[in-house]
Structure 1
Amino acid sequence: MIKNLLKGSNVFLTSFKEEHLNYLEKWYNDILFLRNFDVTAAFPKSLEELKSIIKNSKESSDKFIFAVNSIRQNKIIGITGFENILWNNGTATIYIGIGDDDFRGHGIGQESLYLTMEFGFQELNFHRIQLTVLSYNTPAIKLYEKLGFKKEGTYREFIHRDGIRYDMYLYGILRSEWKLNTKY
């Protein structure tokens, strides 16, 4: 039987559509979201800037972007995908951001990230998936470790926020480790 790789019990992943942009703009104007999602300055972005980012992602050969949608509410609640894909090496950097506050802390991120990983390993034939996370983002670190990512390194004092320097961690998972950790 063929499995729907992009659908779980609570969320499904779709292409990022024009109607999703208003949600993305709201999240990109939420400084707390930005400070966990990105390492650049948490500067709000306009609708036009976001359109350009999404267009660039869709036209690129080394990026994939998905909208994370709630099955029950049938609305976008986050984004996930891959960037920095090195096809010849079978490696990619994964990312996720649950923008809707009501869906954080309920396992939605775990299911969404698992579906993204499954797509990467099963459909795109990746050998390795990696990510970076800031040391103060403990909920994300717990999620990544729960899904089998291994801490591989530390970029010491990588980012400056609120007068404090924070480390950024590098995590990775190999296809063989993911197969052992399959939960869904």
Structure 2
Amino acid sequence: MLINNLLVGKNIKLTSFKEEYLPTFETWYNNTGFLRLYDVVSAFPKSETELREMILDTRKSSDKYIFAIKTIQTDKIVGVTGFENILWNNGTATVYIGIGDNNFRGQGVGKEALALTLEFGFQELNFHRIQLTVLSYNKPAIALYEKLGFKKEGVYREFIHRDGKRHDMYLYGILRNEWNNII
């Protein structure tokens, strides 16, 4: 799925994360349902001030990128995506994505946004390998990653404790040549 216009797809675009998005981001970070899919840390709410610091830290970093996921039709922010733990000398990075607006889950937004993010990573940043982790109970995300060509590479057994149960965390990865075969 080669996207001809870098960071712009059919229905969504990836843009810089602006100060004006912080109130929306704060809403997501106060939604435990979102947090339990987005991160492995405890679903602890964050204030707009804490999130501002997190975004500033990302912008100052040489091993992280963050994008706002916005709809083309309404120019509304619906999620975030980006890279962290970039090892430039090895051409590797960890990708992340979160669709914060429930109305846009299951609508193909995540697939399009992740495809744009991967394209940016492989084509613009010259990565060789992109990886991610996902909790075993996040079945929709796992299906999405596999559809885009990610391969399950490992299991962190009983990694996280949620609601009185232990859950595995999976490691998925995709190499540039695998991505090239998909596009």
TM-score higher than 0.5: yes
1:114 aligns with 115
Rounded Cα–Cα distance in structure 1 between residues aligned with 2:20 and 2:109: 21
Rounded Cα–Cα distance in structure 2 between residues aligned with 1:73 and 1:14: 14
Rounded Cα–Cα distance in structure 2 between residues aligned with 1:149 and 1:23: 30
Identity of aligned residues (%): 70
Deviation at 1:4, TM superposition (A): 2.0
Q: Structure 1 residue 176 and structure 2 residue 177: aligned?
A: yes
For residues 74-95 of structure 1, what are the alpha-carbon distances to aligned partners after superposition, in whole Å with 9 as ceiling and x for unaligned? 1100000000000000000000
Rounded Cα–Cα distance in structure 2 between residues aligned with 1:28 and 1:72: 25
Deviation at 1:5, TM superposition (A): 1.0
Rounded Cα–Cα distance in structure 2 between residues aligned with 1:172 and 1:52: 29
1:142 aligns with 143
Which structure 1 residue ranges, 5 or more long, are not aligned?
Answer: none
Rounded Cα–Cα distance in structure 2 between residues aligned with 1:173 and 1:79: 20
Summarize the alignment of residues 2-17 of structure 1 with structure 2, pairs less than 5 Å apart. 3-17=4-18
1:78 aligns with 79
Deviation at 1:3, TM superposition (A): 3.6
Q: Which amino acid aligns with 1:29?
A: N
Q: Which amino acid aligns with 2:110?
A: G
Deviation at 1:73, TM superposition (A): 1.3
Which structure 2 residue ranges, 5 or more long, are not aligned?
Answer: none
Rounded Cα–Cα distance in structure 1 between residues aligned with 2:23 and 2:144: 27
SS class of match (2:9):
coil
> Considering only aligned residues, what root-mean-square deviation do their CA atoms show, in Å?
0.9
Q: Which amino acid aligns with 2:145?
A: Y
Q: Which runs of 4+ in 1 moved over 2 A?
A: none
Summarize the alignment of residues 8-87 of structure 1 with structure 2, pairs less than 5 Å apart. 8-87=9-88
2:155 aligns with 154
> How many positions carry a matched residue from both structures?
181
